[in-house]
Amino acid sequence: MNILVTGGAGYIGSHITRYILRRDLRPVVLDNLVYGHRESVPRGVPFYHGQIADSKLVAKIIRQEKINAVMHFSAYAYVGESVENPQKYYENNFCQTQKLLETLLAHDIKYFIFSSTCATYGIHATTKLSETLPQNPINPYGFTKLAVERMLSDYSQAYGLHYAALRYFNAAGADDDGAIGEAHDPETHLIPLALQSILNPEKQLKIFGTDYPTPDGTCVRDYIHVYDLAAAHLQALDYIMRKKTSDCFNLGSENGYSVKAIIQTCEKISGLKVNYQETVRRAGDPAYLVADSSKAHKILGWQARYDLEKIIATAWQWEKYRRY
C-alpha cells in the first residue's frame, strides 16, 4: 500500500514515515520544509518538496506513486503564535487542508488519517478526557484542528470519504536507534527543553507555574511516544479501510505526569541535574490534560507500549547525539 504522508519531514510525520517503512508499506513524503528536516526522511523514500494546496503537485504524486491513502501531519502547531497570528494558522491548517481534500476527492482517494489534538477539547472539569466531551478549544490552533474535523465529518457524509481524526495528547520521545527525534525551532516542549538544560549550561528550563490545583502545583500532562502514535495510525487506517467508516480517537497513555515528575525522570535517566527555575504560568495552559483512550483500546485494539522512562530514554539518546 502506498501512503502519502504530508508533513513527513516534521517531528511526528518523520517517525510515522519510518514506522510505515518498517511495516513493509510504502510511504511517500510531501513537505514544504518550513519546519521539517529533509534529513529526517529515510533515504529511498520518495520525497516531494511543496505545498499540500498545490493541486497539480498533489495530483502528480497521486498518479506517479499510485497513492491509496493519506496521513496528514502538515500543520503549524505553536499555540502562542496562533494567538498572535491566527491568519497564518487558519490559512495553513484549515484552508490548505481544504485544498488538499479537494484534490484527493477529485482523484478518488477516500482514506484519510488526520493528525488532530487534545487541544480541541479546551478546559473541562473532569481529569480524564474522552471523545464524548464537547470540543471547545481555547486558542486558534485548537480551532483550526476542530474546523478540519468538522470538514472531514461533513465530507464523509457528502462524498464518501473515510477518515480517522486522531487526537494526540503530548507526543514525545524519539526513534529507538537515535536516528531521528524532536527538533523544533524554536523548541517549546517540556521534555526536550529539560534535557537540553542538562547538556547546555546556557539553557535553563523555566517551570511555568507552581500554583496549579495539582498535587505538586505544576501542570499534569499525558505523554505518548511517537511510535505508539505511529502504531495507532496504521491500526486506524486498517480499521477505516476494512469497515468503510470514519471515527475519532484519543491517543494518550492515560497516565498523568506533572512538570516536576518529568524533571525527576529526566534526572533519573540521565544521571544529571536539570537546570531549572520556577516562574509564572504560561497563558492558556490547563492544569490537567490526561486521555481516556479506552475507545482506541476497544475499537482499534491499540495500547501504548512506551512508559515515561522509555519515552525519556529515547529522547535523551537523541538529544545527546542529535544530527540536526
CA distance 199 to 201: 7
Contact 26, 44 (CB under 8 A): no
Binding residues among 154-173 for ligand UDP as defined by CB under 6 A: 170
Where helices occur in the chain by DSSP H, the ranges are 11-22, 55-65, 79-84, 86-89, 96-106, 140-159, 190-199, 226-243, 259-270, 294-295, 308-321
Q: Is 78 in the site for ligand UDP (CB under 6 A)?
A: no
Please report the sign of the dihedral spanned by the C-alpha atoms of residue 177, residue 182, residue 185, residue 186: negative
Stretch that binds ligand UDP, among 66-74, 157-165, 205-213, 315-323 (CB under 6 A): 205-213
Residue 120: exposure state from Cβ atoms within 10 A (0-12, 13-18, ≥19)? buried
Contact 169, 224 (CB under 8 A): yes
Residue of 259, 266, 274, 312 interacting with ligand UDP (CB under 6 A): 259
204 binds ligand UDP (CB under 6 A): no
* CB nearer to ligand UDP: pick between 83 and 105: 83
Residue 35 a catalytic site member: no
- Tell which residue, 105, 118, 111, has the closest CA to residue 55: 105
Which residue stretches of 164-254 are H helix?
190-199, 226-243
d(CA 210, CA 213): 9
Which of 11, 111, 141, 212 is labelled catalytic?
141
Q: Taking CB under 6 A as the rule, does residue 138 contact ligand UDP?
A: no
Binding segment for ligand UDP (CB under 6 A), chosen from 20-28, 174-182, 185-193, 232-240, is 185-193
Residue 250 to residue 292: CA distance in whole angstroms: 7
Q: How far is the CB of 221 from ligand UDP (least distance, A)?
A: 5
Q: Which of residues 211-240 bind ligand UDP (CB under 6 A)?
A: 219, 221
Residue 306's nearest CA partner among 237, 229, 233, 250 is 229
Rounded to a whole number of angstroms, the minimum distance from the CB of residue 18 to ligand UDP is: 22
Determine if 208 is a binding residue for ligand UDP (CB under 6 A).
yes
Question: Residue 119 in contact with residue 142, Cβ under 8 Å?
Answer: yes
207 makes contact with ligand UDP (CB under 6 A): yes
Closer residue to ligand UDP (CB): 206 or 310: 206
Q: Does 83 bind ligand UDP (CB under 6 A)?
A: no
Provide the minimum distance between the beta carbon of 268 and ligand UDP in the complex, in angstroms, as a whole number.
Answer: 18
193 binds ligand UDP (CB under 6 A): yes
CB of 146 to ligand UDP, least distance (A): 16
Residue 99 interacts with ligand UDP (CB under 6 A): yes or no:
no
Query: Per-residue x/- mask for ligand UDP, residues 265 to 284, rule CB under 6 A?
Result: -----------------x--
Binding ligand UDP (rule: CB under 6 A), the pick from 127, 136, 188, 200 is: 188
Distance CA 134, CA 131 (A): 8
The residue (of 41 and 291) whose beta carbon lies closer to ligand UDP is 291
B/e letters for 167-178, b = 16+ CB within 10 Å, e = fewer, are: bbbbbbbbbeeb
Helix axes 11-22, 226-243, angle to 10 degrees: 60
Q: Which residues are catalytic?
A: 141
Instruction: Name the residues that contact ligand UDP, by CB under 6 A.
Output: 170, 188-190, 193, 205-208, 219, 221, 259, 282, 285
